[in-house]
Structures are given as C-alpha cells and as structure tokens.
C-alpha cells in the first residue's frame, strides 16, 4: 500500500522533469524579450562596396562575417536618398514627410548646427521607447538631426531630448570643410556666387571712389560712404557663416558639452571607437541600445595612416576597409563581454553611394553595384537600396538570404517589440516588425507598397505583388542625367528633385524588379499585358497613402536651415568658440 503514493508522486514529477529538460536554455528565453541591440549605420556607403553584396576588391571580412552568421536582406530600402531625411525615418519608423524632415526646396538636409530645424520634439524615436523600457541608450557618431530651436542651450533637437541617455559625436555631419587642406564642400556653388557678388560690389565701390578722387565721376561722399558700408555689411553677412564653417559645423560633443571646436580629425576615428567599446563595457549588466553612426564613408574620408594605401580603390576603399575593421572591434568587444548570444546586431547604410563626388580623377563616392543611380536620387534603386544585415546567434538562422522588400523604417517596430514596448497609437508608423520574416515564420514582407520620395516630391512607388512574386516599380519623375546617359548629375554634383532637372513621365516608367533589378528596360502596354492594371493599382495606392498625410511644420524650410548666430553651439564666449577638451586624453 505504501508503494502506491510513491508511484503516484513519481508519475507526476517525471513529466515535469522531462518538460524542464526539453525547454530551451533560460538565457535564450530571456533574450527573446530584451536583447541588447547594436545598430551600426554607415554613411554614404554603396551596396556594391561590401563583399557579401558582390564586391571582390574592397575587403570587408567583418561585415561579411555578420552576414555569414546572420540574415542578409537583398531588398533593404532607405526611406530617402539623403542623410537627414533617411535618418529621421530610421529613428521614427515614419516617412520623413510625416515629421517635416523632407525638403520643400533645394536645401534637402540640415545645413548648420546653428539652424533652427531638426527632428521635432514631439516625434517619438525608438530610443525613447527603449529608454522607457529600462534600456541604457547611447548614440556614438553622427546625428545630423538638428540641435537647438530658439536659444543656444535649449537642445530641443539634441539626441538627449530624443531618448538617448548618452551622446558622443558630431551633431552635424562630416564634410570636406572639416579638413583644412580639402576643397570646401558645403554649398560650394552658392559660395562662389557670393564671392563673385562681393567682388562686383567692391569693384563698383572702388571705381566710384577713384572716379570721385580724379573728378571723372560726380558723386557725393555720403553716397560713397553708404556704398562702402553696404559692401562691408554684405561681406560680413555671409562670411561670418561660410567663412568659418569648420568652427561652426565641425565640432564634437559629449552630451550637451562641446568638447572639440573645431574637431581634431586625426583622432576622431579612435575616439568614436573608444567611446563605443566603453559604452558596451559600462552597460553590460543591463539591456542596452547602442546606435553607432559611423562618419565613414562620407567625404573627406577620414582614414588613419594604418589603412592608407591598403585597398585597390584609393582613399574611398581605404576608408571602407577601416570602417569594416571598426565593425570587427565592436563585435570583438561584444564577444569579450560574453554578450554575443544576447545581442542583436544590425548593419546598414543610410542611403546609396555618391556617384558625383569626385576631385579631379579621384572618385570619392561609393559604388551601387548593378543598381541605377545613387545618393540624392529618390527613385532609382542605387540611391535607396542599401546593405541590411542582422545577426542574433541562436535566434536568427545563420547564412540566410531574404529577397523581400524591407525598409530602414522597419527597425523601429522591430526593436520596440523586442524591448517589450508598445508602438505609438496616435500616429502612423510606416515600418513593419521584421522578426517573423527574419526568423523564418513568415514567408513574405508585410510591405505591399513602398513610396519613394525625393524631398516632398513622390518620384516612384513599388508594389510587391505577393501572389505572383512580381515587384513592380513605377517612376513618375526621374532626374535628367548630365552628360546624357552618364547615370548621374555630374554637372550639378547632386540630382535635383523638381524643376528643369527632372523629367515627368505620363504614363510612368514601369519596371518589374524581380526580372530587371537594374531598371534597364522600361515596360509598356505593348510589352507587358498587365501594364494598365498595374499602373491603376499603384495609382489607387498613392491616393490611399496621401489620405494618411497631415500638414506639419517644415523643418527644412529656408528660415530653418539658415545660420543663426544665437543658436550656434559654442564652447567659449561667442563668437570666440574654440576648445580641445580631449587633448589631455
């Protein structure tokens, strides 16, 4: 009789023990809800510049290793073809049009640290939601989403006002003006025009003065004085900003404090890497979000001596190979702290490579592989199709390639859900959670339509027709290349979004990217039986999309992008802004 209760207890306990033994490790269960998240974003990197995307001359072993150990996306699309709007969409999961971060004019990015435009404080970034979920959140590197609104220290657009606990890096973006010996890059054509106007006004003033002194011209001294004063004021009005670009824009900050003004470019790479590794080490005992926003591979291509001359693609290739080395150093730091299996790592570029960026015979911009177009081109694939790689050992299947349309905006809902957060319910979120697709539990992307803007102008739309596998893309506007057939706007340096520099297409140019990813052969009603049906369906999607848009303040309006001295971050007493607080380190 005494054996019966014992047998009964064993019969109850045995399934429980077996069930526990068959469960996945506890660490893996825990990581499915709050993993560490490391987001690596290159600047101006072309999809054709990376080994795992087909480049066999630039060495990128660490990025390639990420793809080998994780998931590679072959149709990863930026929401805009330039830095400021693309990054705004990345941070908010929304088309930049919705936050006012796309341009209504030719000033398509934030131009000054002392501009008043930027990512609006009422936008909710993924960093803010993760911060609320208990994450330590850090941004190292490039920001380019604005700094101040109304005063020098209000920091309304600053990373710390958008959910990041820690910031070290450039509030602006790297430009050639940051290197004293480089040819100025910022607003180059406009600056030449200003110099010309200054010289003309000065010449008129000088001629009138000489004429008055020699008696050849009858003009009052009062008039000459006013003319000379106007000449001086005109010169000061523009030279006070454009004459000191390196001091106003090329600065480094730690949180709200300016640490270098101007930045010391020789050590920028080592400082950014040091700060990134330090952030991982400091926060290894709790969930963290690290957004490492590289200054590579934007001109002037800051490259340390160790990597100069190493690649077969000149300075640009050297710079990409150094960035790949930095990726490897970050991955090593993750491994060293024993965080590899509890960390989701993501690598991408903010948009395509800059084809027009050249100095003489030197090509300083990236390569976009088989894809047409490049940076600043809102419709062509080369401007918006970027590398997209995820690694999370034990959760995402290694060596997987996904050929489905995805967006940089998808990072927002993906990391929010992983952190246990809730998406904002008071606004449209255009991104989609990628985890089902990445883990293989979903066959198709949730995106049926993606809208490709150039500024506020809709240039193209893609339709993923899931039942047939076709990926239709209709172009309503395309840039006019110069010289004709060159594939870029070499006469301008950037392709425009509107005006005489674009061609309107009626009916639109139509391609099936599943058959013609290079967009080389447009279809027509004669060559494609579904032409009219596809165009009508895309037209209805555009109407539905536009009904979701609401008016918002334009952050890149002319008033918001101009330099305002009272908004200039300064580590001294303005205008005497100079410091090097990293020198002792």
- pLDDT tens for residues 148-160? 999 999 999 999 9
* DSSP, res 481: -
Shared-domain flag, residues 135 and 216: no
User: Residues near 84 by Cβ (< 8 Å), separated by ≥ 6?
Assistant: 96, 101, 108, 109, 110, 144, 145, 556
Shared-domain flag, residues 215 and 265: no
Shared-domain flag, residues 98 and 201: no
Comparison of pLDDT for 458 and 1, the residue scoring more? 458
Q: What is the pLDDT of residues 358-370, one digit of tens each?
A: 888 889 999 999 9
CB 491 within 8 Å of CB 481: no
Cis peptide leading into residue 475 (ω within 30°)? no
Note the residue count of the chain. 585
* DSSP, res 507: E
Shared-domain flag, residues 325 and 356: yes
- Average pLDDT for 249-269: 97
The rounded distance, in Å, linking the Cα atoms of 89 and 95 is: 5
Q: Is residue 481 part of a domain?
A: no
Q: Is residue 495 part of a domain?
A: no
Shared-domain flag, residues 262 and 370: yes
Q: Is residue 525 part of a domain?
A: no
Shared-domain flag, residues 79 and 200: no
CATH code for position 416: 3.40.720.10
User: Residues near 291 by Cβ (< 8 Å), separated by ≥ 6?
Assistant: 39, 41, 127, 137, 138, 139, 140, 141, 164
Number of other residues whose CB lies within 10 A of the CB of residue 13:
10
Structural domain range at position 416: 38-174+252-447+553-580
Catalytic residue at 285? no
Nearest CA-CA partner of 50 in 70, 37, 38, 67 = 67
Number of other residues whose CB lies within 10 A of the CB of residue 299:
24
pLDDT at 188: 73
Shared-domain flag, residues 227 and 258: no
Partners of 510 in beta bridges: 474, 523
pLDDT at 584: 58
Shared-domain flag, residues 290 and 352: yes
Shared-domain flag, residues 282 and 322: yes
Judge whether residue 6 has pLDDT over 60: no
The rounded distance, in Å, linking the Cα atoms of 430 and 93 is: 6
Q: Is residue 15 part of a domain?
A: no
DSSP calls for 212-281:
HHHTSS---HHHHHHHHHHHHHHHHHHHHHHTTHHHHHS-EEETTEEEEES--GGGHHHHHHHHHHHHHH
Shared-domain flag, residues 225 and 343: no
Partners of 359 in beta bridges: 362
Q: What is the pLDDT of residues 100-128, one digit of tens each?
A: 999 999 999 999 999 999 999 999 999 99
Comparison of pLDDT for 218 and 344, the residue scoring more? 344
Shared-domain flag, residues 71 and 151: yes
User: Confidence band (pLDDT; 50, 70, 90) for 32?
Assistant: low
Catalytic residue at 144? yes
Q: What is the pLDDT of residues 55-84, one digit of tens each?
A: 999 999 999 999 999 999 999 999 999 999
- CA dihedral for 439, 441, 444, 448, sign (positive or negative): negative
User: Confidence band (pLDDT; 50, 70, 90) for 28?
Assistant: very low
The residue from 76, 144, 155, 457 that is catalytic is 144
Q: Is residue 479 part of a domain?
A: no
Domain count of the fold of the chain? 2
The residue from 76, 83, 454, 570 that is catalytic is 83
Q: Is residue 491 part of a domain?
A: no
User: Confidence band (pLDDT; 50, 70, 90) for 184?
Assistant: confident
DSSP calls for 15-81:
HHHHHHHHSPPHHHHHHTTS-EEEEEEESS--GGGSGGGT-SSS--HHHHHHHHHSEEEEEEE-SSS
Shared-domain flag, residues 53 and 105: yes
The rounded distance, in Å, linking the Cα atoms of 201 and 78 is: 45
The rounded distance, in Å, linking the Cα atoms of 171 and 270 is: 18
Q: What is the pLDDT of residues 430-445, one digit of tens each?
A: 999 999 999 999 999 9
User: Confidence band (pLDDT; 50, 70, 90) for 9?
Assistant: very low
The pTM of this model reads 0.92
Q: What is the pLDDT of residues 525-535, one digit of tens each?
A: 999 999 999 99
pLDDT at 140: 98
Q: Is residue 534 part of a domain?
A: no
Q: Is residue 106 part of a domain?
A: yes
pLDDT at 30: 41
């Amino acid at each position: 009789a005494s054996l019966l209760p014992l047998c009964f207890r064993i019969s109850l306990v045995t399934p429980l023990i077996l069930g526990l033994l068959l469960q996945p490790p506890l660490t893996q269960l825990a990581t499915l809800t709050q993993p560490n998240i490391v987001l690596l974003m290159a600047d101006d990197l072309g999809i054709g510049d990376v080994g795992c995307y087909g480049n066999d001359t630039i060495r990128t072993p660490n990025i390639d290793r990420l793809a080998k150990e994780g998931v590679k996306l072959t149709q990863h699309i930026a929401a805009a073809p330039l830095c400021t709007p693309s990054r705004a969409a990345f941070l908010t999961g929304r088309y930049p049009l919705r936050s006012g971060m796309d341009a209504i004019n030719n000033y398509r990015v934030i131009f000054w640290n002392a501009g008043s435009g930027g990512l609006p404080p009422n936008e909710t970034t993924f960093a803010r939601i993760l911060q609320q979920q208990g994450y330590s959140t850090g941004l190292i590197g490039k920001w380019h989403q604005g700094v101040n609104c109304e005063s020098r220290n209000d920091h309304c657009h600053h990373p710390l006002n958008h959910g990041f606990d820690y910031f070290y890096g450039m509030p602006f973006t790297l430009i050639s003006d940051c290197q004293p010996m480089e040819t100025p890059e910022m607003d180059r054509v406009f600056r030449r025009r200003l110099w010309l106007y200054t010289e003309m006004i000065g010449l008129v003033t000088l001629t009138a003065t000489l004429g008055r002194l020699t008696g050849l011209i009858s003009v009052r001294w009062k008039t000459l004085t006013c003319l000379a004063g106007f000449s001086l004021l005109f010169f000061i009005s523009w030279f006070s900003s454009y004459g000191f670009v390196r001091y106003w824009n090329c600065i480094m900050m730690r949180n709200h404090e300016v640490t270098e003004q101007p930045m010391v470019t020789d050590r920028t790479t080592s400082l950014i890497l040091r700060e990134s590794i330090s952030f991982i080490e400091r926060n290894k005992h709790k969930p963290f979000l690290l957004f490492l926003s590289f200054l590579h591979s934007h001109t002037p291509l800051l490259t340390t001596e160790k990597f100069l001359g190493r690649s077969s693609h000149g300075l640009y290739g050297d710079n990409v190979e150094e960035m790949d080395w930095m990726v490897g150093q970050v991955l090593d730091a993750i491994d060293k702290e024993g965080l590899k299996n509890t960390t989701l790592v993501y690598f991408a570029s903010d948009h395509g490579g800059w084809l027009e960026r050249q100095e003489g015979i030197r090509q300083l911009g990236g390569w976009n592989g088989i894809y047409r177009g490049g940076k600043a081109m809102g419709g062509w694939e080369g401007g918006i199709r970027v590398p997209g790689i995820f690694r999370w050992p034990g959760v995402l299947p290694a060596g997987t390639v996904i050929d489905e349309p995805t967006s940089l905006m998808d990072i927002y809902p993906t990391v929010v859900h992983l952190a246990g957060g809730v998406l904002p319910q008071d606004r449209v979120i255009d991104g989609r959670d990628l985890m089902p697709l990445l883990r293989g539990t979903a066959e198709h992307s949730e995106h049926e339509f993606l809208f490709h803007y150039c500024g506020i102008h809709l240039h193209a739309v893609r339709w993923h027709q899931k039942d047939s596998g076709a990926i239709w893309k209709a172009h309503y506007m395309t840039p006019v290349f110069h010289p004709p057939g060159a594939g870029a706007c070499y006469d301008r340096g950037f392709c425009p979004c509107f005006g005489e520099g674009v061609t309107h297409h009626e009916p639109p140019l139509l391609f099936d990217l599943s058959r013609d990813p290079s967009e080389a052969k447009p279809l027509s009603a004669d060559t494609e039986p579904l032409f009219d049906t596809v165009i009508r369906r895309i037209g209805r999607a555009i109407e539905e999309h536009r009904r979701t848009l609401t008016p918002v303040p334009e952050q890149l309006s002319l008033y918001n992008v101009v330099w305002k001295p009272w908004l200039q971050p300064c580590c001294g007493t303005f205008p005497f802004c100079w410091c090097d607080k990293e020198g002792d380190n």
